[in-house]
Amino acid sequence: MSLAIIAALTPDNWDIELLDENFDRFQYKVADLVGLTALTSQVTRAYEIAQIYKKKNIPTVIGGIHASVMPQEAKKFANTVVIGEAESVWKDVITDFENNRLKEIYNGNLQPMVNSPQPRIDLYNPGYAFGSVQTTRGCPMSCDFCSVHTFNGKQYRPREVVDVVDEFEKIPQDKVYFVDDNFIGYSKKSTERVKDICKEIIRRGIKKDWFCAASMNIADHDEVLQLAAEAGCRMIFLGIESELIDQLESANKKMNIKIGIDNFSKVYDKIHKYGIAVLGAFIYGLDTDTPETIENRTKYIIDSDIDAMQATILTPLPGTPLFDRMLAEGRLIYNDFPKDWSRYDFVEVVFNPKLMSAEVLTSSIDKAWKMLYDNKRLKRKFINALKSTRNPVSASWSYNSNLHYHNIVFEKQSNKINFEDT
Ligand code: SF4
């Protein structure tokens, strides 16, 4: 969404073209100013593109979560780095460019979201199956592996309900993802806000199906779930991470600890009660993991009432306490940066685990993925989802998500480089 937000912040007298490599391979085009954004695993590619323009003396500006936490690295490839959220500084970037005085670094601060412009959704490639809307930024939690609190801050910053629903209504797709890290938040006020968004969608009679990510405490709020289902919610992403309390503690996953592992199944049941599917996200490779715990986690995911199964590899992203610790401990296997950032994509082991070798972790995860994403298993999960949610849309979304994960992990495996080759 970031480039569409940048486009919305850009003065009207500018012509803007958005190139999205999810769809179109980059082809050189002349421009006055080139803006780039990238997550960590994409940044090597963004730097390649920045270099092409830099060589032709066309100024480049890079921002986004990776460049914000690695500005000195990003500066080597782009003329300008915008650190943090762009809303507070983008107008200065444009004015400085127009006056030929572009700086190397701009520091964006965290502003309330109430005045945020609506992203230029007209610029998105029409091929996206899902539209996307962001209703809040920031997270008061500080999970060890997560960079959200570093980048978007610890304060939960909501947008105006009317603005959110206006944008939701304008989206051309009939399927939408609320991209917030936590749609429900942790306060009474944030719970009321979700209810207001759902009520407004219902009041306007907008017929779209959607999914969101939320913390497990969403199950404490029947009224939220009921309104969400009525407003079109078909699936909720839960960051469960692990079924072991010591691992949740070391990952600082406070909400899940508070809910209690023994109550996790009640959370899934409650969400199902309202016809909504559960997308459970888990991590393989936590510090106390062994081949046995990975096998047990896999069995837990299979046996529990989770419909869509995301099981990715612990990945130390820059900007997280996890990255700092692994770097200090000399545990990063791939540390020839920026070249190696492309490996930090959640489906490759990039560090030395504590209780086994990287090779053993890799083979344990390969085995786990074969169990999880076996075609027969996915069909059984679909039937279970249909029974639990009694909603064919929710069940088919969970099935499609599983197929998507199946494709990601097996595509990656077929391209995998052996440790001996590196
Ligand atoms: S993982 Fe989720 S709950 Fe934890 S800090 Fe990140 S956004 Fe917040």
> Taking 70 as the threshold, does the pLDDT of residue 419 lie above it?
no
Nearest CA to ligand 1 atom 7: 181
Inter-residue contact 248 to 256 (CB < 8 Å): yes
**Is 116 in contact with 133 (CB distance < 8 Å)?**
no
Nearest atom in ligand 1 to the alpha carbon of residue 142 is: 5
User: What does the pLDDT average to over 407-415?
Assistant: 76
Question: pLDDT tens for residues 290-332?
Answer: 999 999 999 999 999 999 999 999 999 999 999 999 999 999 9
Q: In which band, very low, low, confident or very high, does the pLDDT at 417 lie, cut at 50, 70 and 90?
A: very low
pLDDT of residue 114: 87
Three-class secondary structure assignment of 70-107: CHHHHHCCCCEEEECCCCCCHHHHHHHHHCCCCCCEEE
CA of 258 to the centre of ligand 1 (A): 15
Mean per-residue pLDDT for 385-409? Answer: 96
Q: Provide, rounded to the nearest whole percent, the portion of the chain with pLDDT above 70.
A: 97
Question: pLDDT of 349-380, one tens digit each?
Answer: 999 999 999 999 999 999 999 999 999 999 99
Ligand 1 close to Cβ of residue 143 (< 6 A): yes
- CB of 361 closer than 6 angstroms to any ligand 1 atom: no
Q: Indicate the pLDDT class of residue 409, thresholds 50, 70 and 90.
A: confident
Q: Which atom of ligand 1 is nearest to the CA of 149?
A: 5
In the predicted model, is pLDDT for residue 17 greater than 80? Answer: yes
pLDDT at 418 over 70: no
Distance (Å) from CA 178 to ligand 1 centroid: 15
Work out the mean pLDDT of the chain and round it to a whole number.
95
Distance 149 CA to ligand 1 centre (A): 7
Expressed in angstroms and rounded, the spacing between residue 180 Cα and the centre of ligand 1 is 10
In the chain the domains, ranked by start, together with CATH numbers, are 2-107 (3.40.50.280), 129-414 (3.80.30.20)
3-state secondary structure of 400: helix
Residue nearest ligand 1's atom 6 by CA: 146
Q: What is the dihedral of CA 266, 268, 269, 274, to 10 degrees?
A: 130
Ligand 1, residues 151, 156, 157, 181: which to mutate, most atoms within 8 A of Cβ?
Answer: 181
Ligand 1 pocket mutation pick from 137, 182, 212, 346 by most atoms within 8 angstroms of CB: 182
Backbone angles phi, psi at 39, to 5 degrees: -80, 170
Closest C-alpha among 317, 362, 296 to residue 66? 317
pLDDT band with cut points at 50, 70 and 90 for residue 193: very high
Out of 141, 150, 253, mutate this one to test ligand 1's pocket (max ligand atoms within 8 Å of CB): namely 141
Which one has a higher pLDDT value, 415 or 266? 266
Task: Verify whether ligand 1 is closer than 6 Å to residue 381 (CB atom).
Answer: no
Task: From residue 110, give the alpha-carbon distance in Å to each of 178, 318, 342.
Answer: 20, 20, 28
